Each structure stands twice: as structure tokens, then as C-alpha cells.
Amino acid sequence: MCWRQPETWGQQMTGIGRGVPEKLTKPDVASADPKPPQKGPATPAQLLGEVMFLALKSPDHRGLTLAELESRLLPPLTLGQFRLWRVGGRPVGFASWAMAADQGSLPPFTTPSAADWRAGPFPVLVDLIAPFGGGEGFERDWREKVPSGKAEAGA
């Protein structure tokens, strides 16, 4: 069965603008403006959107499947084991880490199993996304702050 345009479609459309108050036919400019950036903590959906934006801009992450991105990004976001760097309110870098049971038990930059995300006291860098450059600086910042407990999750 093929979809067909209803016969009344054109009749309904031709009535717009005639006899309708001007207020309803002209767009309200104030409502068309984008909302200013939100102050305060970001929601989980906003964080995921910002991290996905970075991943899609990163040559190292762009080719990953949705399932791979999910297994690498959702656990640290829900566990608070991540750091998001922003410049001018826009995301520029992201790091996530797992808490390994033993030093050296989890190689850096590998996707941990579900149990390994919080297996012990040793932070291991899982992901570093910096598509606009500065990855070395983000990694240095992470190494200085996370092992000593100075990092703020999501800061």
C-alpha cells in the first residue's frame, strides 16, 4: 500500500495566514533564540551528549560501534570515574578511569569488564578523548590529580 496525500491537505494549508491573528503567524523571535548555557551541574544526558560529541570528533573513537562506545563511556559516567575539561563552556577533553584491584592488573586504554570498573583502589586510565589537541596536558592533569584523590569527577 502506498501512502497518499489527503485531498484536504491543500485546502488546510491555503487557509493559513488568512483570518489568523498576526501574532500566530509571525515567529516569536525571543522564543527562537537558543537558550543560554545552563549554570550548575550538567545532567547525565548532557554529559553523555558532550562526551559523544568529543568521541565523534576523535579519529580514534569515530569508528567505534555504538556498543563499544556504550561499554567504554556509560560505566565511568554512572560511577563518577571521569573528568571532562571545558573551555568557554564547551567540552574539549574527556578522561575516564577504572579502579583496578592490583597495580598493573588492568592495562591502560583497554575496556574493562563490568567487575573491573570498581575492583580496587588503583586508578587506570581507560579513555582519553582530546580531538582538538592537548591530550598530553589532559593526561598530565589526570595523573597529577586522580591518583592523589584531588580530581573532581566530572569537573
Provide the residue ranges of all domains of the chain, joining segments of one domain with +: 43-145
First to last CA, the chain: 54
Instruction: Give the pLDDT band (50/70/90) at residue 149.
Output: low
| Model confidence pLDDT, tens digit, residues 71-98 | 999 999 999 999 999 999 899 999 999 9
| Model confidence pLDDT, tens digit, residues 14-44 | 444 444 444 433 333 343 444 445 566 678 8
Segment 118-129 mean pLDDT: 92
Residue 48, all three cell numbers: 553523555
| Model confidence pLDDT, tens digit, residues 51-73 | 999 999 999 999 999 999 999 99
Residue 17, pLDDT score: 42
Residue 11, all three cell numbers: 485546502
